[in-house]
């Protein structure tokens, strides 16, 4: 199973691709789609959409895991983030990919074992789980990889529960 994790953002949308085979999770690729604050907002959304379509075309994921919106004090920022998230979901759906959504707390719980973990803890666990030599340059990338890992762990749990129900 190949999972594309996405951490939506209007400045940088992080993405991370991981494979799961026989219980082993391996790193495939990761990066960020950066936009410029000088661009009109609709152009920034277009760049995110096209960038994610290119990632999907290159890596051929089986499914997509997206970090869901969290509570934000600034309504304007939350609305813009919601737009970026919608564009990310649309890019996946347009390619016929199933989309799974996870809250930041669910992602941290799945990766670190603690829902209130700090960003450095998530980074360290992502590096450990994926046996990476260097830390990803951007937190958006780490968060996207964490979303993909969360989905794999979640799918394993669902399979285990299904297996007990037989």
Domains of the chain: 2-164 (3.30.420.10)
pLDDT digits (tens, 9 = 90+) for 122-156: 999 999 999 998 877 777 899 999 999 999 988 76
Catalytic residue among 19, 20, 62, 67: 67
Q: How many angstroms separate the CA atoms of 127 and 75, rounded?
A: 33
The contacts found for 125-131 with CB under 8 angstroms, 24 or more apart, are: 129/25, 130/18, 130/25, 130/26, 130/27, 131/26, 131/27
- The reported pLDDT for the residue numbered 135 is 78
pLDDT digits (tens, 9 = 90+) for 30-42: 999 999 989 999 9
- Decide if pLDDT at 13 tops 80: yes
Average pLDDT over residues 101-119: 91
Alpha-carbon distance 150 to 25, whole Å?
Answer: 11
Give me the pLDDT at residue 71, please: 59
Residue 19 clears pLDDT 80, i.e. is over it: yes
Amino acid 77: pLDDT = 81
Calculate what percentage of the chain has a pLDDT beyond 90: 70
Indicate the Cα dihedral angle 127, 125, 105, 83, nearest 10°.
Answer: -10
- For residues 106-130, give the mean pLDDT: 91
Q: Which residue has the higher pLDDT, 8 or 116?
A: 8
**Is position 67 annotated as part of the catalytic site?**
yes
Name the β-bridge partners of 102: 67
Q: Which candidate in 7, 20, 106, 143 is catalytic?
A: 7
Catalytic residue (one of 20, 106, 140, 143): 140
């Amino acid at each position: 199973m190949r999972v594309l994790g996405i951490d939506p953002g209007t400045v940088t949308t992080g993405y991370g691709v991981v494979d799961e085979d026989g219980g082993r999770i391996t790193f495939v690729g990761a990066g960020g789609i950066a936009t410029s604050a000088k661009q009109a907002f609709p152009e920034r959304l277009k760049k995110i959409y096209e960038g994610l379509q290119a990632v999907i075309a290159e890596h051929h994921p089986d499914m997509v895991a997206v970090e869901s919106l969290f509570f934000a004090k600034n309504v304007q920022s939350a609305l813009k983030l919601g737009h970026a998230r919608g564009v990310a979901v649309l890019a996946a759906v347009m390619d016929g990919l199933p989309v799974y959504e996870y809250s930041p707390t669910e992602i941290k719980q799945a990766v670190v074992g603690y829902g209130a973990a700090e960003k450095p803890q998530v980074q360290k666990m992502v590096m450990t789980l994926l046996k990476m030599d260097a830390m990803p340059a951007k937190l958006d990338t780490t968060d996207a990889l964490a979303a993909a890992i969360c989905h794999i762990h979640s799918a394993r749990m669902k399979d285990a529960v299904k297996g007990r129900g037989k």
